[in-house]
Amino acid sequence: MRTLTRTFPFFLLFALLTSFAPEPTTLTKGRIEVIFNRKTELNDLAKIKLDLAKKGIVLDYRKIEFDKYGDLISLYFTVDCKDGFSGSAESASLTNQSKFGFYRDYSKGVVSPFGVGNLE
């Protein structure tokens, strides 16, 4: 019984640490796409960066500019997927319809696995 009492806390700690560990990008399936436009708020930028970090993708904002109404008008960012795909892009004239950002497609045999800038 004493052995169980001593080992249980270590087992519990191991279970907690492994359940909250970030998922490696090599295990990610499908496509990750991030689009920025004038409607993107500062809180959105922070959440996007945090969500990507959990997937092993590093997103850094080099320049962020909002107008007096709080609309995002300019953005310069770098992204590193930590698997050989990285890039940067800048837009000084974001609109509500802008499709500016990046994607990383982990599907096997995909023609274009990574793109950054103005997306179609």
Lowest-confidence range among 25-34, 100-109, 110-119? Answer: 25-34
Of 91, 105, 98, 104, the C-alpha closest to 120 is: 98
Residue 11 has pLDDT above 80, yes or no: no
**Torsion 8-10-11-17 (CA) sign:** positive
Mean pLDDT for the stretch of residues 9-32: 49
Domain spans, the chain: 25-118
Q: How much is the pTM?
A: 0.74
- 39-49 pLDDT, tens digit per residue, is 999 999 999 99
> How far is the C-alpha of 25 from the C-alpha of 110, rounded, in Å?
16
**Residue % of the chain over a pLDDT of 90:** 74
86 exposure class (CB count in 10 Å sphere: 0-12, 13-18, 19+)? middle
